[in-house]
Structure 1
Amino acid sequence: MPLDIGYARVSTTKQDLDRQIDALRQEGIAAKRIYVDKKSGASTNRPGLHAALDQAREGDVIVVHTLDRLGRTVRDTLNLIHDLADRGVGVRNLADPIKVDSSNPEVKSLGVV
């Protein structure tokens, strides 16, 4: 059965993850399936993201509050979405003005809704 896997990130340890985690929980994602990091997006050492990606199987969807939580740049983020799509894993964002849901087969390209 496909799973929604949540990922939340803030850039510093002084910032709060609550808003992102609350939004993921509102989507019905269980706390045990929400992975978090308090690290800059420029860092490649993001254990929460790596754990979420390792957990994701074909048919699963990585859900983020906003796409900038996934990568430092648009290119990094799009590359990650593309790599996940190659694995059969979708990506869905919750709060960006441009909605992305690459798990939706009805939507072409990168799943811009």
Structure 2
Amino acid sequence: MIAEVIQEFMSNDWLPSFTKVLFHTVAADKDKFYKETVVPQIEKYAPLVEKFLLENGNNGLFLGDRETWVDVFAAETFSKLIDYGSPDALDAYPHILALINRIFNHPNIKKYVAARKSTPF
């Protein structure tokens, strides 16, 4: 269910448009587009994800006490909002930020991310 929420967040119309704005394939003001189009989507979906994180006993994961693919999926998805949108994109969602930090500091993931090629949004 959590993955479906994240997938719905990603599959809305804003993502392809934001990617085009980011990589200058369409002419648009990135900051204006981000504030008017992306921020409302964050405000719609991030509270749901934050709630799911809280409902699991506030241990920082969605299910149980070990990282799952859904934790990785969420961390990767939401981290892109910070990387490509705004450094403060998720400041109102401390549990999502903690999840991102936890996932990207997992030894195996940290090693992989350090070695992978940089990819666009």
Q: Aligning the two structures, in what range does the TM-score lie when normalised by the shorter sequence? A: 0.3 to 0.5
Identify the structure with the greater strand proportion.
1
Superposition TM-score, scaled by structure 1 size = 0.35
Greater helix fraction, Structure 1 or Structure 2: 2
Structure 1 or 2, whichever has the larger Rg, is: 2
